[in-house]
Structure 1
Amino acid sequence: MKITITGASGFVGKNLSIYLKNNHHSVETLSLRGDWLSKLDKNTDAIIHLVGKAHDLENVSDDSEYFKVNRDLTIELFNEFLNSEVKDFFFFSSVKAVADTADGVIDENIIPEPLTAYGKSKFEAENYLLAQKIPEGKRLFIIRPCMIHGSGNKGNLNLLYKVVEKGIPWPLSAFENNRSFLSIDNLSYLVHKMLINSEIASGVYHFADDQSLSTNQLIVAINKALDRKAKFLSIPKGLIETVAKCGDVINFPLNSERLKKLTESYVVSNKKIKTALNIKQLPLSAEEGIIKTIKSFKIGS
């Protein structure tokens, strides 16, 4: 198949491009800067739209930028898809488009309640796409991944890795939680399977690894990748939260946003996509994916 990817220079785009090429697909990249309309191949088989303004941990980005990139640019590209010969359109949204926090398991039936400009801009793009009539022979896939990780990704996992690598006992063990992650390998596998399976219906699909992990289990997995025994330090929650608040006003590795990401529970169901694809389990377990990612950090350090 011939596949066009926007945002191909990013972490997901680079890894997905390699995976699809290795599975005998032809991959074209499309930059959405400048006169991109004239460069869009309207005879490609699928468009995978990865371009987006990511959530800003420092909370300094102007809200309008999120809507300009995540909503307006997506709508413009999607309208071109509707008027082309392209069969499939993948819009990579986010679970943050429907829930910033969650008490239970997040599935596709959740009532959307985005709180940030990032989440709201993704959700508004979703709403527009879902409101359009999809011509016969075309499919629209809205993908909501949870936290993606893998080689080349420098997010919160990299921060955890640096702490563990220095031999520092994990100081947040008093927090109990459960979180879903998504390895880039499992993401690429699911996209590939959706592309080649003509029976998959248009719709919203959540992407996540099969198992969720607590942050303490995450620390154990990171240490396993480093061939070490995990060390934990139990510090009262209240003290940690006070330190995080200080990090909101001074340049400190831990702030309230990072503490929330490290300690909150956020479990995402992948049942719908696995049922649609008739698969029992993804190639990598959650722990295997984490260990592979951490080993890539170790090699790259």
Structure 2
Amino acid sequence: MPNPDPRRSTVLITGAGGFVGSMLCRKLGTESYDVRAVVRNRTKEFSQTLGVIYIESDLLTERSLVDLCSGVDCVVHLAGRAHVLREKKVDPLDAFRQVNSELTLRLARQAALSGVRRFIFISSIGVNGNKTEERPFDESSQPNPEAYYAVSKFEAEQRLIELAATTSMELVIVRPPLIFGVDAPGNFGRLLKVVASNLPLPLSNINNLRSLVSVQDVVSFIELAIHHPSAAGELFLLSNGDDVSTTQIVRSLACGMGKKNFFFFLPSRLLEVGAAIVGKTGMYTQLFGSLQIDSSKAQRTLGWRPTAKTCSELEEVGRLYADRNSKA
């Protein structure tokens, strides 16, 4: 059983100003945890949540790491680099490694030296690969990272496992797929804008299956992983549990927005070739390929349950997005 009074815990959250981190801070603060929320820039507006102290730090100096980890029970490491701008003389893999692997290891080493009980690392399903063919990914699936981002996350996982083997600090690794919500950045944020525009889309013949996870469910899992004894030393893959096609994703968002999108047919091969010509092969895979996850271990081991069906949550996201934009 979980610790009966986990609220005594002091939790350090990196990437606290981000999409998942900001919601996690609010959730833990209202649950009476003592939260140290690490942000890169305190000039940004942050909601004043009881129990949450916002600390400006880039995590780059040893002194800052010592101060941040002192007296902490659990570190939730969300901070990372997801994109590398096209800059001359910049090796993109090295840029990802510096933040997602090297910085992560330095933080974890200091956490172990400071007596932190548990370190939760939010990785990526990209470590397993960018698509599934015959069966969903689960925790026993062989890693096959392709994108530089995923490579750096996998390298971080391996180095954390080596560190945990030589210290008393417990390690929990979480690999989520696309995390969705009304404030989601990146591809999902762009998809919301496309759906809201009511543009015709070439999605009438898409029969793929993709696993998603809502930001609320990611936050609920992280809170459980902070204190559940059975999470120690484990890897978990997360999903909402019911896989959907790209067409279903768009229809659900459109339904929530009160829109009716028009889909038309284009041969998938033509779309694939067109994506390759413009250098968007990765985007084609994300839109038209399948990526399924078996998250039964998280449910079986920790008793975690997603809060709602994916399409219902996507409709709610669409409604919230439309409401927000109507008031803008």
SS at match of 2:229: coil
Equivalent residue for 1:277, pick from 302, 305, 311: 302
Q: Extract unaligned runs of 5+ from structure 2.
A: 1-8, 39-56
* 1:1-301 map, 5 Å: 1-30=9-38, 31=57, 32-34=59-61, 35-55=63-83, 62-103=92-133, 104-132=135-163, 133=165, 135-136=167-168, 138-248=169-279, 255-279=280-304, 281-301=305-325
How many Å apart are 1:108 and its aligned residue? 0.6
TM-score of the two chains, using structure 2 as the length reference: 0.82
Q: How far apart, in 2, do the equivalents of 1:41 and 1:181 lie?
A: 32
Q: How far apart, in 2, do the equivalents of 1:57 and 1:153 lie?
A: 20
Partner of 2:4: none
Q: How far apart, in 2, do the equivalents of 1:107 and 1:204 lie?
A: 10
- Per the alignment, do residues 56 and 284 of structure 1 end up closer, same or farther by CA in structure 2, a change over 3 Å counting? farther
How many Å apart are 1:263 and its aligned residue? 1.0
Count of residue pairs brought into register by the alignment: 293
TM-superposition CA deviations, 1:249-276 (whole Å, max 9, x none): xxxxxx3322221111001111111111
SS at match of 1:228: coil
TM-superposition CA deviations, 1:142-193 (whole Å, max 9, x none): 1111111113213222333333323223312223200011110000011112
User: Are the aligned partners of 2:122 and 2:173 in contact in 1 as well (CA < 8 Å)?
Assistant: yes
User: Are the aligned partners of 2:84 and 2:95 in contact in 1 as well (CA < 8 Å)?
Assistant: no
Compare 37-46 and 87-96 and name the one that shifted more: 37-46
User: Are the aligned partners of 2:84 and 2:96 in contact in 1 as well (CA < 8 Å)?
Assistant: no
TM-superposition CA deviations, 1:111-159 (whole Å, max 9, x none): 11112221111111111111232645x4210111111111321322233
| Stretches (4+) displaced over 3 A | 55-61
TM-superposition CA deviations, 1:60-114 (whole Å, max 9, x none): 8621011111111111111112212211100111111221222120001011111
User: Are the aligned partners of 1:164 and 1:170 in contact in 2 as well (CA < 8 Å)?
Assistant: no
Compare 85-94 and 157-166 and name the one that shifted more: 157-166
**Structure 2 residue identity aligned to 1:289:** E
Partner of 1:252: none
SS at match of 1:212: coil
Larger RCO (alpha carbons 8 Å, 6+ apart): 1
**Structure 1 residue identity aligned to 2:22:** K
**Structure 2 residue identity aligned to 1:43:** G
SS at match of 1:52: coil
- Per the alignment, do residues 172 and 227 of structure 1 end up closer, same or farther by CA in structure 2, a change over 3 Å counting? same
Q: How far apart, in 2, do the equivalents of 1:246 and 1:295 lie?
A: 35
SS at match of 1:235: coil
Q: How far apart, in 1, do the equivalents of 2:85 and 2:214 lie?
A: 21
SS at match of 1:179: coil
SS at match of 1:188: helix
Compare 23-32 and 53-62 and name the one that shifted more: 53-62
Q: How far apart, in 2, do the equivalents of 1:75 and 1:7 lie?
A: 16
Compare 111-120 and 57-66 and name the one that shifted more: 57-66
How many Å apart are 1:230 and its aligned residue? 4.3
Q: How far apart, in 1, do the equivalents of 2:182 and 2:192 lie?
A: 13
- Per the alignment, do residues 245 and 99 of structure 1 end up closer, same or farther by CA in structure 2, a change over 3 Å counting? closer
User: Are the aligned partners of 1:134 and 1:140 in contact in 2 as well (CA < 8 Å)?
Assistant: no
**Structure 2 residue identity aligned to 1:46:** C
User: Are the aligned partners of 1:11 and 1:152 in contact in 2 as well (CA < 8 Å)?
Assistant: yes
- Per the alignment, do residues 238 and 58 of structure 1 end up closer, same or farther by CA in structure 2, a change over 3 Å counting? farther
Identity %: 27
User: Are the aligned partners of 1:164 and 1:222 in contact in 2 as well (CA < 8 Å)?
Assistant: yes
**Structure 2 residue identity aligned to 1:51:** A
SS at match of 1:267: coil
